[in-house]
Amino acid sequence: MTHLVVVEATNLIQSGDIVRAEAILTALVETEGDNALIEVLDDIPSKDLLAVIREYDSSKQSLLNLLITPEQFARVVVLERLYKDMSHEQLRGMMNSVIFREDADANEFIEAIAELEFGYETFADYLSDRAEEVVGETFAALDTEDISRSEISDHDWKELTWLLRHEHADIYNIVLVLLKAKLQERIIPEVVLTGEDDDEAIEATTPEEKTPKEEEDEDSAI
């Protein structure tokens, strides 16, 4: 029975019928219980499972999001980058609905994700549109023992950042480096687009900025 469900669900997912695939999987809970669905999720290829889970968030819940284990979710979420979604909106919605679900220990999910390749990059992508706040001074006020998790419990980026800073410092430090790199990538194109023209650049050249050829010519004149 379980094998047939896996095959049918996988075929539906690969054909693009996410709604029917999700319905077949969640129907297992009614007939065989929560554990049956958890076992099936282990057998479905991660990329196919991702196709289902990324369609649901806190505004549109699925039993899959409510029952998926930290290890299963970690294997799935690190593949989100393959969709090349520059906004990362679905990543945030997916992570928020799973990591911050009522019965979940968010730290278990954080640890499971960090253990996998591209796990740190996944956190950086999740926080990318808040990079300036996380890296800069705006959010620095929360980097103190006086602020409790309950005070910033938004079930979103602030709470995840707090957890990384206060309970997973090693992970946070690596993610911070990745966020700074993302900010730098944004700055460089702006500099190129708003840079001076060649004439202005030449006029602004200081003696220290002379090329080796210019210095050689001056030495020859002396």
What is the dihedral angle through the alpha carbons of 217, 219, 220, 221, rounded to the nearest 10 degrees? 90
Look at residue 212 and tell me whether its pLDDT is greater than 60. no
pLDDT in tens, 59-90: 777 899 999 999 999 999 999 999 999 999 99
How many beta carbons lie within 10 A of that of residue 118, not counting itself?
16
Comparison of pLDDT for 200 and 179, the residue scoring more: 179
Helix 119-127 to helix 157-167 angle (10° resolution) is 130
Q: What is the pLDDT of residue 138?
A: 64
C-alpha distances in angstroms, 133 versus 111, 127, 208?
23, 9, 36
Domain ranges of the chain: 2-192
pLDDT in tens, 92-120: 999 999 999 988 999 999 999 999 999 99
Cα 213 from Cα 143, distance rounded (Å): 51
